[in-house]
Copies of this chain bind each other. A is one copy, B any other.
Amino acid sequence: MRKFVTERAKQLLSLSRQYQHRPLSASLSRFLSSDPISSSPSSSMASPSDSSTPLTLQTINPKVLKCEYAVRGEIVTLAQKLQEELQAKPGSHPFNEILYCNIGNPQSLGQQPITFFREVLALCDHPSILDKSETQGLFSADSIERAWQILGQIPGRATGAYSHSQGIKGLRDTIAAGIEARDGFPADPNDIFLTDGASPAVHMMMQLLITSEKDGILCPIPQYPLYSASIALHGGSLVPYYLDEATNWGLEVSDLKKQLEDAKSKGITARALVVINPGNPTGQVLAEDNQREIVEFCKQEGIVLLADEVYQENVYVPEKKFHSFKKISRSMGYGEKDLSLVSFQSVSKGYYGECGKRGGYMEVTGFGADIREQIYKVASVNLCSNISGQILASLVMSPPKAGDESFESYLEERDGILSSLARRAKTLEEAFNSLEGVTCNKAEGAMYLFPRVRLPENAIKASEAVKTAPDAFYCRRLLNATGIVFVPGSGFGQVSAY
């Protein structure tokens, strides 16, 4: 697969040799691998709504219309159409397969789940096999022990019951202990809100923070479009700050200050700062000094720090290390009273890549008890997140330890996945940079590359003629020629370099 993928990348990049002069970014997700899922909207009813239908584009909530989500947008819909055509008529395109690089979805590409995690999940799903003799032959001893332990933390051992709206207390204890072990600072299980992946957690915070378009959220550009989509759905204003491609997507606090002031002059109050570390879609890992500056900035300006830390296990360079913002702020001597901080974590990323399980949590610190009650209330309206996802979130924060039966095989699986991701990142970065007209920053972490491709004037003109952004035009041509699904850089908010 890796060899194939690299050849595809070269094929893709050779196209760019025809183009010159204009830079443009496209996200090369997941180090160019294949994603067989279909991702287009259904189309059982071909006709648009007319005025007799209750809900039309004229009457629908305009915030919904404004929302865009490029990683499952137009290019992906086209890819799905091509895939159907290939199935119906093999050989109808100059490729036999669609390579979905639009989103980080490792298991759809053949990445295997961590065995221990799945053993525990299966046992918790069907606890009545726990004391059967055959089970000993099928499951590791520590997975059986862990399943018993988890079931003991669930009232009535009922994995089919709604839990506390923040998640099962015993699992939150485990997660808090995992955070403590990671950071070296205390973590409180009452600060943990378990969620169906990180996305609902981000939506929940946006819902609390945004009242109108006068409420701004500082977001990195390029950004993961969940943020722009969620801000649009809640009717707020995205206040951009720009990561500097020339310094490997450097984050300058001076730029943060400038953008904050600029927003203020337009009547927009920044309520929060989103930082994605390691970066999505840009792959950089923040330096500790830089993190301290960011903490200081949020404290001084009195804004909430929303720390997207879902790639905390995905760091590929020896000179960088992940530090949570909570650890950084505590090591600066700042406590509950000093900084309102939300850290997002997900089971979808890391080496686990369990996207389909929809597990994750947010750790909420530095808010008053009255606001905490409001967060709890909003969480309670959806009752609770799914219990398998809750269990998995506890497992990724507390994997097998030395001496456990699964420990060696767990290590082997984990390190195999992480080193493969690191190797593929390096291979593709080098492939990009060896090509004329293409540059690409180093991926220090996360799962993405964000190359810059220079387009010739004629390509720009051709895109303008069909009223399409040049990078979207390029991605469409690329897809039609090779079957590779990119997301255009403009989908991540990236601005033209001119």
Interface residues of A (CB under 8 A from B): 35-39, 41-50, 52-57, 59-65, 67-69, 72, 103, 105-110, 113, 115, 118-119, 121-123, 125-126, 128-129, 132, 134-135, 137-138, 155-156, 158-166, 169, 188-191, 196-197, 199-200, 203, 207-211, 226, 229-230, 233-234, 271-272, 302-304, 336-337, 340, 348, 353-358, 366-374, 376-378, 380-389
User: Nearest chain B CB to A438's CB is how many angstroms away?
Assistant: 29
Q: Which of B118, B336, B368, B383 contacts A56 (CB 8 A)?
A: B368
How far apart are the CA atoms of A303 and B45 in the complex, in Å?
19
Q: List 25 A-B contacts (CB under 8 A).
A: A36-B155, A37-B162, A43-B190, A44-B190, A49-B368, A53-B366, A53-B368, A54-B272, A60-B208, A60-B374, A61-B234, A64-B207, A64-B377, A64-B378, A65-B374, A67-B378, A68-B377, A105-B161, A107-B156, A134-B138, A160-B353, A196-B196, A199-B381, A355-B383, A357-B386
Question: Which B residues touch A207, using CB under 8 A?
Answer: 61, 63-64, 233
Closest to A338 in B: B52
C-alpha spacing A382/B201, complex, angstroms: 10
The reply to whether B72 and A165 contact each other, CB–CB distance below 8 Å, is yes
Question: Known: A158-B108, A388-B388. Is A340-B138 also a contact (CB below 8 A)?
Answer: no
A103: chain B residues within 8 A (beta carbon): 162, 383
Q: How far is the CB of A208 from chain B (nearest CB, A)?
A: 6
Please name 20 further chain A to chain B contacts, defined as beta carbons within 8 Å, in addition to the given A55-B368, A61-B208, sorted by A numbering: A37-B155, A41-B376, A41-B377, A42-B189, A45-B372, A54-B304, A55-B209, A60-B371, A61-B210, A61-B211, A63-B211, A108-B155, A108-B156, A121-B126, A134-B134, A158-B356, A161-B355, A199-B381, A233-B378, A358-B386
Measured in the bound complex, the distance between the Cα atoms of B292 and A259 in whole Å is: 57
CB of A425 to closest CB in B, whole Å: 20
Q: Which of B64, B122, B337, B368 contacts A125, CB < 8 Å?
A: B122
Please give, as numbers and ranges, the residues of chain B lying within 8 Å of A211 by CB-CB distance.
59, 61-63
Contact A49 B371 (CB under 8 A): yes
Q: For the complex, what is the distance from the CA of A457 to the CA of B104, rounded to whole Å?
A: 63
Q: A348 contacts which chain B residues (CB < 8 A)? A: 162
Are the CB atoms of A191 and B161 closer together than 8 Å? no
By a CB distance below 8 angstroms, the chain B residues around A302 are 52-54
- Contact present for B208 and A37 (CB under 8 Å): no
Distance of A190 from chain B, by nearest CB (Å)? 3
Q: Which single member of B54, B357, B381 contacts A67 (CB below 8 Å)?
A: B381
Bound-complex Cα distance A180 to B275 (A): 48
Q: Write the chain B residue with the least CB distance to A272.
A: B54
Q: In the complex the two chains form, is B138's CB within 8 Å of A39's CB?
A: no
Cβ–Cβ contact B380 & A356, under 8 A: no
Rounded to whole Å, the gap between the CB of A18 and the closest CB of chain B is 33
Which residues of B lie under 8 Å from residue A35 when comparing CB positions? 161
Shortest C-beta distance, A176 to chain B (Å), equals 10
> Once the chains bind, are A45 and B336 in contact (CB under 8 Å)?
yes
User: For A337, what are the chain B residues with a Cβ–Cβ distance below 8 Å?
Assistant: 52
For the complex, what is the distance from the CA of A56 to the CA of B161, rounded to whole Å?
33
Q: CB distance A125 to B135 under 8 Å?
A: no
* Given known contacts A43-B372, A55-B209, A358-B385, A105 and B162 CB-to-CB distance under 8 angstroms: yes
Q: A44-B188, A125-B122, A233-B378 are in contact. Are A196 and B161 (CB under 8 A)?
A: no
Given A42-B372, A61-B207, check contact A125 B388 (CB 8 Å).
yes
Q: Which residue of B lies closest to A166 (CB)?
A: B42
Residues of B within 8 A of A357 (CB): 160, 386-388
A372 to chain B, nearest CB (A): 6
For the complex, give the distance between the alpha carbons of A43 and B372 in Å: 8
With CB as the reference atom, state the residue of chain B lying closest to A355. Answer: B162
Q: CA A44 – CA B53 in complex, angstroms? A: 50
Interchain CA distance A366-B55 in the complex, whole Å: 10
- The answer for the CA separation of A209 and B55 in the assembled complex, in Å, is 7
A302 to B51 alpha-carbon distance, docked (Å): 10
**Given B37, B165, B304, B354, which contacts A55 in the complex, CB threshold below 8 Å?**
B304
Are B389 and A108 touching (Cβ within 8 A)? no
A478 to B321, CA, bound (A): 55
Residues of B within 8 A of A109 (CB): 156
Chain B's closest residue to A387 (CB) is B356
**Which listed residue (B53, B340, B369) contacts A367, Cβ 8 A?**
B53
Instruction: Pick from B67, B134, B160: contact of A354, CB below 8 A.
Output: B160
Q: Are B209 and A61 in contact (CB under 8 A)?
A: yes
Taking a contact as CB atoms under 8 Å apart, the answer to whether A303 and B160 are in contact is no
B374 near A64: Cβ-Cβ < 8 Å? yes
